[in-house]
Structure 1
Amino acid sequence: MPLSIATPLLESLPLSRASGARVWMKMEAMQPSGSFKIRGIGHACERYRADGAQRFLSSSGGNAGLAVAYAGRKLGVPVAVVVPETTPERARRLLREEGAQVTVHGRSWSEANAFAQSLKTPQDAFLHPFDDPLLWQGHASMIDEVVEAGLRPDAVVLCVGGGGLLAGVAEGLHRNGLDSVPIYAAETEGMASFNASIQAGHLVELPAVSGVATSLGARQVCARAFELARERPIVPLQVSDREAVDACLSFLDDHRTLVEPACGASLALLYRQRIALGADANILAIVCGGSTATIESLSRFEG
């Protein structure tokens, strides 16, 4: 049995009214680890265990690390996660509750990642948060489910951090004959590494990232994400931190589901009418979820 679940595909009347189109939500926030990440990471962990891995290593204190910890617990494989000092205590606690060994190292994800890589032995499998074709294959299954449910969308709305979700959705669209469907890719203004690469015409590493949507905090997207922008229609768009948080709060009111600001960035495109496709269009919104936000943290945001 796969580690991820087939999530609901729900029509959203509030988002449809706000955007002027018919919006369908792929409710990845309902995955057992709290986000879409378990699709790809679960797929990769199953593959690595079949190949003999005796431990899973990760360097994410967020949704990817939680997915690795969940997969390890379900598969009976020990998990070690290295997180930077900036990782909130809540995230460390959630990782430990899933049974992971948590080590705090470095002031940034890149430092934690380098340390995690140094721990790897031949018996270990390292789970990258976003840059692994196995992850993209697993993430693509959400589009298989959408098509199986009878929806062939006219557009897809999602957020971009490192680009793993984008690569997976694009793969899912491709294998279902939907290469011409545009993807609207949302970032917050302080985390816009994808947009920076598109504007430069080559992969760009930002000197720093900042803002409330910490799950989007990759200073450079994976190469596959950049390649996709040359292969198929992708529209990069940016929202403010305030817009992302407001979208989370509106979504909580409208759909009784708490998502983090990374997900709120994509929802803000719909709440703020940033996508004009017309009343007959069917828009697929990837409600990617996330485990880092709390109602308190969203409500007290003052940016």
Structure 2
Amino acid sequence: MIEDSSDEENQLLDESQTMHVGTPLLHSSRLSVKLNRFSKMSSNIFLKMENIQPSGSVKMRGIGNFCYRTVQLRGTDIRFICGVGINTALAVAYCARQLGVDAVIVLPKNTNESICDGVRLEGAHLILFGDDFTASESHARKLLKRNDVYVPSSDHAHIWQGHSTLIHELKSQLQNNPPAAIICPVGGGGLLNGVIMGLQEIGWKQVPVIAVETHGSNSFQSAVVAGKMVTLPRLTTIASSLAVKSVSSKSLELSLVHPVVPFAVSDAMAADAARLFADDNKTLVEAAAGAGLSLCYTQIIRDILPSLSPESDVVVLVTGGSDISLEKLEEYRKKYKRPPVVVKSGSEVFLKMDDSLTNVQEVNMDEPSGISKKALKDLSARHTYKTEVMEDLTMQQAQDEEESYSSAKTPTPLQNN
């Protein structure tokens, strides 16, 4: 645990300096038009482009602050150790190089070669160990020696503080006008914690945070529904940055004092949104970022926030990430193009068809779309039948009204006299 440093030690580094960079807030004309096409609203979608951070993801804010504060306290005669998360590893490697500190990064054996190259290029010592991040993190912790500092992915106050800078930046960019909502992808909870803490700090206590996970990684949603910490029995998601079995306990604590909407989408929705975002913006982001973007591409955000008023601003945190490539995007295009919209809000599961929501019994965890083809076909047939019946009733009602109106206008014999 890193304790507060003295004034003398703080002089090691300038307090005003940061490892992250300020990122642009871009108005998305495409998503705004898409959102307003089938409604009378004129809401705006803004994209907070965290994908341009030096390490490629929003992790730079939290990890950068942690590493910076550590060097403030202990100087450079230390070694950073990290063993969990691709984007965390890349951020640690970058920070270590910039701060003149040694770093050891432990990643699973099946890590993509381009990620490994990125770590090595920053001068960090890379160790490939185990089949998953549980094994790599365990091994990394065993390497700790006297002057070593383990860098966590999400669960530390300095990490939350780093992420909160995003909100302070956002306040200036929106000219102190609070948005209607902030869409925030959730993995371990570090970003979510920082976002909520930042909102509390600047007085935007009423701004809801839509916390987005995938069905196969919804540890935060499960914890909120249960009212206690939950450890998922397994992880089944392509969104590697969201693949955490248990969210930070601080996230659950903060959800009790700030409006948060836990929401889950399918892997297929997340992948398709990442593909569409690449087409629209000529920029690659991983499926974790796609999870948040999918709420806008499918317009499900209108169902989450039915009270959106004209001129409402919705901010999407485009978290970036390095677990993406042109090859992977092409795979997404082939596998997940225009998937059904299957979402989970609280404990309820919905399928969106023709701009209406239908209850589904449960998410099919074996299907990337969250629903089997047979179940989708049955529900679609039922929905079509119900729609046709309603259309027939509406037409019959219109005919009856027309006949009633005509009868009322036909003169009676008494009127003729």
Q: 2:364 maps to what in 1?
A: none
Q: 2:408 maps to what in 1?
A: none
Partners of 1:61 and 1:92 within 8 A in 2:
no
Q: 1:297 maps to what in 2?
A: 328
1:184-227 deviations in Å (ceiling 9; x for gaps): 11111111111111121111111110121011010100101111
**CA–CA distance in structure 2, aligned partners of residues 238 and 17 of structure 1:** 24
**1:169 lines up with 2:200 in the alignment:** no
Q: 1:55 maps to what in 2?
A: 79
1:137-169 deviations in Å (ceiling 9; x for gaps): 001101111111214212100100111110011
TM-score computed with the length of structure 1 as normaliser: 0.96
1:89: how far off?
Answer: 2.5
Which residue among 219, 227, 230 is the counterpart of 2:256? 230
1:279: how far off?
Answer: 3.3
**CA–CA distance in structure 2, aligned partners of residues 224 and 84 of structure 1:** 27
Which residue among 274, 277, 293 is the counterpart of 1:248? 274
1:44: how far off?
Answer: 1.0
Which has the larger displacement, 142-151 or 263-272?
142-151
Which has the larger displacement, 174-183 or 45-54?
45-54
Q: 1:197 maps to what in 2?
A: 223
Unaligned runs of 5+ in 1: none
Unaligned runs of 5+ in 2: 1-16, 37-42, 303-307, 336-367, 369-417
1:283: how far off?
Answer: 0.7
1:61: how far off?
Answer: 4.4
Which has the larger displacement, 271-280 or 243-252?
271-280
Q: 1:122 maps to what in 2?
A: 146
Which residue among 68, 84, 100 is the counterpart of 1:46? 68
TM-score computed with the length of structure 2 as normaliser: 0.70
Q: 1:214 maps to what in 2?
A: 240
1:18: how far off?
Answer: 2.5
- SS of aligned partner of 2:301: coil
Which residue among 131, 134, 138 is the counterpart of 2:155? 131
Which residue among 317, 325, 340 is the counterpart of 1:286? 317
Percent identity for Structure 1 against Structure 2: 39
Q: 2:298 maps to what in 1?
A: 272
Q: 1:18 maps to what in 2?
A: 34
- SS of aligned partner of 1:292: coil
For residues 147-166 of structure 1, the aligned pairs below 5 Å read: 147-149=171-173, 150=175, 151-166=177-192
Q: 1:71 maps to what in 2?
A: 95
1:51: how far off?
Answer: 1.9
Q: 2:25 maps to what in 1?
A: 9
Opposite residue 7 of structure 1, the aligned amino acid is T
1:183: how far off?
Answer: 0.4
Partners of 1:61 and 1:91 within 8 A in 2:
no
1:92: how far off?
Answer: 1.7
**CA–CA distance in structure 2, aligned partners of residues 48 and 121 of structure 1:** 16
Which residue among 196, 206, 218 is the counterpart of 1:180? 206
Which has the larger displacement, 14-23 or 176-185?
14-23
- SS of aligned partner of 1:56: strand
Q: 2:289 maps to what in 1?
A: 263
1:73-100 deviations in Å (ceiling 9; x for gaps): 1111111011123422222222112211
The number of residues matched between the two structures is 303
Opposite residue 38 of structure 1, the aligned amino acid is M
Partners of 1:56 and 1:72 within 8 A in 2:
yes
Q: 2:130 maps to what in 1?
A: 106
Partners of 1:61 and 1:84 within 8 A in 2:
no
1:105: how far off?
Answer: 1.9
Q: 2:396 maps to what in 1?
A: none
Opposite residue 325 of structure 2, the aligned amino acid is T
- SS of aligned partner of 1:51: helix
Which has the larger displacement, 145-154 or 206-215?
145-154
1:36: how far off?
Answer: 0.8
Q: Which has the larger radius of gyration?
A: 2
**CA–CA distance in structure 1, aligned partners of residues 204 and 148 of structure 2:** 37
Opposite residue 55 of structure 1, the aligned amino acid is R
Opposite residue 35 of structure 1, the aligned amino acid is S
1:104-132 deviations in Å (ceiling 9; x for gaps): 22222122212211211221111101111
Moved over 3 A (4+): none
Larger RCO (CA within 8 A; separation ≥ 6): 1
